[in-house]
Amino acid sequence: MQTVTRHYNRLEQGTPSPCQTALRVIKPILQALCQMIILIAALLFLLDSGAKNMDYQWQWQRVSDYIAFYEEGRWWPAELLQGLTVTIKLSILSLVATMAIGLITALLRSSSSLVGRLLAFSYITLIRNTPLLVQVYVLYFILGPMLGLERFTTAVVALALFQGAYTAEVIRSGLNAIPKGQFEAAQALGMSKPYVYWDVILPQMLRRTLPALTNEAVSLVKNSSIVSVMAIFDLTTEARNIVAETAMPFEIWFTVAALYLCLTLTLSGVAAWLEHRFTLKHN
């Protein structure tokens, strides 16, 4: 009787019941799932219709052989998985170098040194106004041999230099958004300039710019496919070789797209988790 009375009072007061609250949360999720199912079904229908018009025979059963195979009592990575490993390694090293280049360039642009600001401005202008593919060719055919760089190292440098220019502008905007009074107050307390940046300025900048930095990281992962022109056996290169051998362009490239999607979604998920942690810590 008391439960019924509380439920009646809740309705009288306009407070939603637990069932109504759960329905309010689940309803948009179900709507999104239905929309995705309809979209995927329509896409599959169009692909199947197009393949039939081309007399194309799907061979999805062969794709797994190029991901991993079982031999001598254990699983071995096949071409696509090996290429994915190279892509992940390339992306991680390039991302670390990108953040370092972006931070240094942003600090130079915000410094009082005329030479530092000029160097940073020239670097950003040059990189942002030339295509990535041209930069890769210049590094691979000219600067790489002159400096004695290996192909993989050249690829890391090319990606880091390209993405670092865009990351520098993101970091600089985050630094400019922090009131100068905080820097002056920290120095008034006797903190050294490096310690002020490390303990006061950079944490706030990272919290403000994390979504934009995530976009740059995702772009870097996608741009890593361009270094396949340097004969690096990354995911894209391995896929191109498999297509040339098997004549399965649709199956292989759809699989490669799904693998890249998994990488970028994982990266976005980690960034969302970090943003949530920063928000909780700030609150």
For 115-154, what is each residue's pLDDT tens digit? 989 999 999 999 999 999 999 999 999 999 999 999 999 9
Question: Using only C-alpha atoms, what is the Rg of the chain?
Answer: 26
Classify residue 190 as left (phi > 0), alpha (psi -120 to 50) or beta: left
Which residues contact residue 15 at a Cβ distance below 8 angstroms, ignoring those fewer than 6 apart?
Answer: none
C-beta neighbour count of 272 within 10 angstroms: 13
Please check the confidence at residue 97 and state whether its pLDDT lies above 80. yes
Classify residue 131 as left (phi > 0), alpha (psi -120 to 50) or beta: beta
Could you report how far apart the first and last alpha carbons of the chain are, in Å? 42
29 in Cβ contact with 228 (< 8 Å) = no
For residue 4, name the pLDDT band (cuts at 50, 70, 90): very low
Please check the confidence at residue 32 and state whether its pLDDT lies above 70. yes
From residue 204, give the alpha-carbon distance in Å to each of 41, 135, 194. 44, 33, 15
Once rounded to an integer, what is the mean pLDDT over residues 9-34?
67
For residue 5, name the pLDDT band (cuts at 50, 70, 90): low
